[in-house]
Amino acid sequence: MKSRTSRLDRFISQNSAFSLADTRLLIAQKRIFLDGRAAHSIQQKVTEFTHVVLDGCCLRDNRPVYLMLNKPRGVVSATKDSRHSTVMDLVDHPQKHELHIVGRLDLNTTGLVLLTNDGAWSRKVSLPETKLAKIYEVTLSKPLTDEYIRVFREGIYFAYEDITTRPARLEILSDYTARLSLVEGKYHQVKRMFGYFRNEVLALHRVSVGHISLEGLDEGHCRQLTCEEIAVIENQ
């Protein structure tokens, strides 16, 4: 998801009857306001969420939205699907049609899903370089051993992509359950990592992404992120 950012003069020429060259005069006459302040340079950046007013007329007034959802089993991480309910069916927000899903979960995987219309923010969540831990609770068909901890810490080679997974932290909770912390999200990564041991994942639940936790949010419900939750990721 690309964020829409452009120079002020280019934005004005694309969204009004004025040309690139006209923008300098408009600025000098204090006829352009960005987020409530008079513009001062043709090179100012206009993001997808900059409030832009020209001669009293609003040219852009997009608002960023950040939501978290506790996804139930059997719900698809998609905007529409002909066979299953989608996460969007569980969202009640006037801007829901603008949102995209940050870090999809499989049909039968439950837990934390983030939704936003802010492309730059969602990239920070998704990039392994941000080192944002995604924590899962896993239930398995066969008993776990300490060997899993070592192998997950060292990384597992995926031949199809010719990559080795980044170090992951595994905490064994019982013979058949564990808590797993990852900083990346390859295709079906958790199931494939346990598949290395030929151990089937029976249940998978994402409990947190970084400092954002499902605690207190009922299954099937969503809420807006707090300013603190948003800012911590913005500042990564």
- Structure tokens, 142: 């066969």
What is the C-alpha separation between 188 and 165, in angstroms, rounded? 12
Q: Are 72 and 108 in contact (CB under 8 A)?
A: no
Helix axes 227-234, 119-126, angle to 10 degrees: 70
Closest to 126 measured CA to CA, from 209, 221, 50: 209
What is the C-alpha separation between 189 and 168, in angstroms, rounded? 11
pLDDT band at 82 (very low <50, low <70, confident <90, very high): confident
Span 11-30, average pLDDT: 95
Q: Are 132 and 142 in contact (CB under 8 A)?
A: no
Would you tell me how many other CB atoms lie within 10 Å of the CB of residue 102? 26
pLDDT at position 186, please?
Answer: 87
- Structure tokens, 99: 């949102």
Would you tell me how many other CB atoms lie within 10 Å of the CB of residue 145? 13
pLDDT in tens, 27-62: 999 999 999 999 999 999 999 899 999 999 999 988
Which listed residue (55, 106, 118, 162) is catalytic? 106
Active site includes 106? yes
What is the C-alpha separation between 206 and 214, in angstroms, rounded? 9
Residue 1: is its pLDDT beyond 50? no
Closest to 144 measured CA to CA, from 170, 109, 108: 170
Phi-psi region of 90 (alpha: psi -120 to 50; beta: other; left: phi over 0): alpha
Q: Are 194 and 200 in contact (CB under 8 A)?
A: yes
Helix (H) or strand (E) holding 24: helix 22-28
What is the C-alpha separation between 43 and 21, in angstroms, rounded? 12
pLDDT in tens, 196-231: 999 999 999 999 999 999 999 999 999 999 999 999
Span 77-82, average pLDDT: 87
Residue 148: is its pLDDT beyond 80? yes
Global model pTM greater than 0.85:
no
The owner of tokens 């954002």 is: 212
